[in-house]
Amino acid sequence: MRFRSIFRPDLFAEQTHIVTGGGSGIGRCTAHELTALGAHVVLLGRKEDKLVRTSEEIREDGGDVSWHTCDIRDEERVRTTVAAIVESRGQIHGLVNNAGGQYPSPLAAITQKGFETVVRTNLVGGFLMSREVYAQSMARHGGSIVNIVADMWFGMPGMGHSGAARAGMVNFTETAALEWASAGIRVNAVAPGWIASSGMDTYSGAVRAMIPKLKQAVPLARLGTESEVSAAICFLLSEAAAFISGSTLRVDGAAPHATVLWPMNAHDRSTPFDGFHRATLPEALREDAD
C-alpha cells in the first residue's frame, strides 16, 4: 500500500523537499505523501532512530528518501547540513519547517531557560532553516517554504511560550514572503489545530486526560488527521498555490470560533480524510476508547 493522496502521483517528480521533524507525527506523514507524489524527501531531526525508521517505511513503499541528524537550533549545524543537501541533491524545491516542541505550563511558572528553549525550537530554528535554504539554493532557483505553526489565535493559555513563538513565525512568514518574492520564493504557513498525532503522547497527567475531550471544543466535533494537515502542506508547496504567499492556512475544524454564545451540539456529520496508510491512533486516544 501507498499513501492515498488526492494529488496526482507525479506532482513533485524530480524535486527535492526538506521536512524538519520528519521522523514522527505530521512530519512523517508529510514525508510519506511527498514521496508518494514523486519527490525526493530529505528528513531532518535530532533522533537518528526515528529518521531511520521513517526512511525504511518510505523505501518499503517505493519512495525516495535520505536523512540527516540536525538540531535546527544550532546555526552552524544548520548551515553545514543544508550545504550537504545542496551538494548531494542540487536545487532545493521545498522546505517544510515542521520541527517543534513545547511543554504545558502557565506563564507564571515558566523559567527564562524554558521560555527561550521553546522559542528557539519553534521560531529561531525555522528562521535558521529558511535563511540557509534561501541563501544556498532558493535565492538562485526559487522555491516554496511552508512553516508549521499552531492554533494560537486569541492566545494560548497553558502554553504561552509556544504561542508567542508561533505568532512570531506567522509574522516571519509574512515578512519573508515580501522580502524573498523577487527571487521567486513563496512562503506560507499551516496552523494545525488538535490533530490525532503521535505528539499527543508526549503529554502526561491532567493534559493527557484532557486530550479525548478536546473534540467537544471543536465545531466539527472531532480531531483532525495527520493527512488533512499534510494535504494542506502539499497544496501550498504545489504549483496550484503559485499565487499564494504570506498566508496562514488553518486546519482546525473552526475551533477558534467556538463560543459560549452559540451552542455546539454533538454530531457526527464531519467525515475525516485519512489517506495515510501507516497512520496509528495516539495512545492517549486509544486509552479513552478502551
Question: Sorting pLDDT into bands at 50, 70 and 90, what band is 289?
Answer: low
Give domain status of residue 9, yes or no.
no
- The CATH number of whichever domain residue 190 belongs to comes to 3.40.50.720
Domain that holds residue 193: 16-289
Which is nearest to 99 in space by CA: 173, 159, 169? 169
pLDDT over 70 percentage in the chain: 99
Question: Sorting pLDDT into bands at 50, 70 and 90, what band is 202?
Answer: confident
Over residues 208-228, the pLDDT tens digits come to 999 999 999 999 999 999 999
Strand-by-strand arrangement of the 248-251 sheet: 64-69, 40-45, 16-20, 94-97, 143-148, 185-192, 248-251
Over residues 94-115, the pLDDT tens digits come to 999 999 999 999 999 999 999 9
Give domain status of residue 115, yes or no.
yes
- The secondary structure of 144-173 as a DSSP string is EEEEE----TT--TTBHHHHHHHHHHHHHH
The confidence score (pLDDT) of residue 290 equals 53
User: Which cell numbers hold the place of 184?
Assistant: 521567486
Per the structure, the count of domains in the chain is 1
SS3 137: helix
> At residue 125, does pLDDT exceed 90?
yes
Give domain status of residue 6, yes or no.
no
CA 71 to CA 46: how far, in whole Å? 5
Give domain status of residue 101, yes or no.
yes
How far, in whole angstroms, is CA 172 from its chain's centroid?
A: 16
Over residues 17-33, the pLDDT tens digits come to 999 999 999 999 999 99
Give domain status of residue 4, yes or no.
no
